[in-house]
């Protein structure tokens, strides 16, 4: 493939990118609809934390196994199947909610099932991008995913907040189910190679393949350090997913629509950050760019926690989004260029297990923290700690030289 060829002339990439971007938009709708329904139904931060834990656990427990199958099976087919499964799960939950039959405990079940499908889908997509793009196009393609994900996020939370207010959470989730089906259709029309690891039989072979992914990361000390850094950052920031709706409802008093605007501001920042990364790609030292992104997102998240103005809060979240886009894009480029394609499913799954492994513990602590501290204080302290962790990475020469 010619590295100078326009991304838009790559039919399969465009189909996959467009379908998954639409699905990301739909998932934003469900995020707003589901969390707001739970908050209004229970008024409990502990219940919100429980939903977040149910989202994180499948990645931690099943992610490494999923990575084995990503390397053994056709990645396009696996993504297609998981889109269909997620569409069915979200559609069923939305229909029950619409009919007034959905119970809070069922939310946990549906969330675990949907997150299990996502645990297989995410490494499949990550490992497929290098099969769709090569060379300089990898940075452009990953930047485009950040831009499109952010653009979907700008519209998704805002539209989600409006839809929840107008038609309710159930119908809003049915829209998300439809976007998953469209994403599956786009994959049917796409075509790209999918290297497969020759599978041996038995549980022992699965265990051995899982260990391969972790050993690869452990042996690359700087990559392993970077993942431990991200694990710490995610541990520090995990409670914010629970605290954002509380900030909207009880601190800034802006309701569901204001909560939707939080997501839109974050996503607008991600779009801007995506464009910024296309400019930064000409400079070396991706590690320094990641450190810059961590410090930016940490300091501006702290500003969001301290703010009592909706305008300042949205500006702060916009800068948080810029930091997230910078970190995510260059993390993806580093791993996609340094991990052999035939290992990427296992390595990316191990990567997720390491970086997300502490999130359930952090989320479980959210209720305890809220009993002792106000939500704005927790957010501000988390942001400052994340920024300091990013600055600490400057002391590691291998990280600076990445």
Q: How far apart are CA 115 and CA 68, in angstroms?
A: 17
Q: How far apart are CA 266 and CA 279, in angstroms?
A: 20
The encoded tokens of residue 391 equal 């600055």
Q: Are 72 and 129 in contact (CB under 8 A)?
A: no
318 pLDDT higher than 90: yes
Q: Are 355 and 80 in contact (CB under 8 A)?
A: no
- Give the DSSP letter of residue 309: -
Token pair 């297609």: residue: 80
Of residues 143 and 221, which shows the higher confidence score?
A: 221
Token pair 């993390």: residue: 331
Would the CA dihedral through 117, 122, 127, 130 be positive or negative?
positive
Q: How far apart are CA 96 and CA 81, in angstroms?
A: 23
Q: Are 295 and 243 in contact (CB under 8 A)?
A: no
Sort 99 into a burial class: Cβ within 10 Å, 0-12 / 13-18 / 19+. Answer: exposed
Q: Is the pTM of this model over 0.85?
A: no
Give the residue ranges of DSSP H helices in 168-281.
169-189, 203-219, 221-237, 240-246, 255-280
Of residues 389 and 283, which shows the higher confidence score?
A: 389
The encoded tokens of residue 324 equal 């997230």
170-199: pLDDT as tens digits: 888 998 999 999 999 999 988 877 766 665
Q: How far apart are CA 127 and CA 342, in angstroms?
A: 9
Mean pLDDT across the stretch 145-157?
71
What does pLDDT average to over the chain? 84
- Give the DSSP letter of residue 262: H
Mean pLDDT across the stretch 101-126?
88
Q: Where are the domains of the chain?
A: 9-189+202-400
Confidence of residue 306 (pLDDT cuts 50, 70, 90): very high
391 pLDDT higher than 90: yes
Q: Are 365 and 238 in contact (CB under 8 A)?
A: no
Q: How far apart are CA 66 and CA 71, in angstroms?
A: 9
Mean pLDDT across the stretch 100-125?
88
Displacement of CA 84 from its chain's centroid (Å):
19
Confidence of residue 270 (pLDDT cuts 50, 70, 90): confident
pLDDT given for residue 358 in this prediction: 77
Token pair 């995990």: residue: 238
% helix / strand / coil in the chain, to the nearest 5?
A: 85, 0, 15
pLDDT given for residue 51 in this prediction: 81
pLDDT given for residue 31 in this prediction: 78
pLDDT given for residue 148 in this prediction: 76
**Which of 22-36, 150-164, 310-324, 359-373 bottoms out in mean pLDDT, i.e. has the lowest?**
150-164
Q: How far apart are CA 350 and CA 68, in angstroms?
A: 10
Q: How far apart are CA 62 and CA 81, in angstroms?
A: 17
Confidence of residue 310 (pLDDT cuts 50, 70, 90): very high
CATH homologous superfamily of 9-189+202-400 equals: MFS general substrate transporter like domains (1.20.1250.20)
Q: How far apart are CA 23 and CA 293, in angstroms?
A: 26
Enumerate residues 6+ apart whose C-beta is below 8 A from 357. 60, 231
Q: Are 133 and 84 in contact (CB under 8 A)?
A: no
Q: Per this entry, what is the length of the chain?
A: 402
């Amino acid at each position: 493939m010619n590295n100078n060829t326009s991304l838009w002339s790559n039919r399969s990439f465009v189909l996959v990118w467009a379908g998954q971007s639409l699905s990301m938009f739909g998932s934003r709708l469900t995020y707003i609809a589901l969390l707001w329904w739970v908050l209004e139904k229970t008024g409990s931060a502990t219940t919100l934390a429980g939903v977040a834990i149910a989202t994180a656990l499948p990645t931690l427990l099943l992610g490494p196994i999923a990575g084995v199958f990503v390397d053994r099976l056709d990645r396009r087919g696996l993504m297609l199947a998981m889109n269909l499964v997620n569409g069915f799960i979200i559609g069923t939950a939305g229909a029950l909610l619409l009919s007034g039959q959905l119970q809070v405990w069922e939310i946990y079940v549906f969330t675990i099932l949907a997150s299990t499908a996502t645990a297989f889908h995410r490494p499949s997509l990550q490992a497929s991008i290098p099969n769709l793009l090569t060379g300089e196009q990898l940075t452009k393609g990953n930047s485009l995913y950040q831009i499109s994900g952010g653009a979907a996020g700008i519209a998704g939370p805002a539209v989600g907040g409006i839809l929840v207010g107008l038609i309710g959470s159930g119908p809003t989730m049915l829209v998300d189910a439809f976007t998953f089906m469209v994403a599956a259709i786009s994959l049917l029309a796409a075509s790209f190679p999918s290297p497969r690891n020759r599978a041996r039989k038995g549980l022992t072979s699965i265990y051995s393949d899982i260990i391969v992914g972790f050993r690869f990361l452990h042996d690359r000390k700087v990559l392993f350090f970077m993942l431990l850094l991200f694990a710490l950052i995610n541990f520090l920031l995990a409670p914010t997913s629970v605290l954002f709706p509380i900030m909207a409802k009880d601190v800034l008093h802006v309701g569901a629509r204001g909560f939707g605007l939080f997501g839109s501001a974050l996503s607008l920042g991600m779009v801007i950050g995506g464009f910024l990364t296309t400019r930064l790609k000409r400079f070396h030292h991706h590690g320094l760019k990641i450190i810059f992104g961590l410090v930016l997102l940490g300091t501006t998240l702290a500003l969001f926690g301290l703010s009592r103005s909706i305008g300042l809060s949205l500006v702060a979240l916009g800068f948080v989004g810029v930091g997230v886009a910078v970190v995510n894009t260059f993390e993806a480029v580093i791993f996609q260029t340094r991990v052999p394609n035939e290992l990427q499913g296992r390595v990316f799954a191990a990567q997720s297990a390491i970086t997300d492994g502490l999130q359930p513990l952090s989320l479980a602590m959210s209720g305890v923290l809220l009993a002792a501290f106000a939500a704005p204080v927790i957010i501000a302290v988390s942001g400052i700690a994340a920024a300091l962790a990013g600055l600490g990475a400057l002391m590691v020469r291998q990280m600076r030289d990445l």
